Amino acid sequence: MNKPSIDELLKKTDSRYMLVSIISKRAREIVDGSEILVKTNDTKAVNIAVEEFYQGKITYKE
């Protein structure tokens, strides 16, 4: 799947800061061995976290 644009990602959260925080925390979890929630061929934790967020697989509290 093509990577979603920043505009598409920002529609799912209130701010860029929140987006970066969510993605970075999830990427760290993936690096630490957490289960990947989406089917992907990508091996980079940040790209996987972005895809998970875009597909709505990550929940967060504001």
How many C-beta atoms lie closer than 10 Å to residue 9's C-beta? 17
Residues 24-57 have pLDDT tens digits of: 999 999 999 999 999 999 999 999 999 999 999 9
**Residues 27, 47: Cα–Cα separation, whole Å:** 8
Q: Of 60, 56, 40, give the one whose Cα is nearest residue 48.
A: 40
- Say yes or no to pLDDT of 1 above 80: no
- Mean of pLDDT values over 9-37: 96
Question: CA 1, CA 31: separation in Å to the nearest integer?
Answer: 21
Domain boundaries, the chain: 6-54
User: So what's the pLDDT on residue 45?
Assistant: 98
Residue 33 identity: G
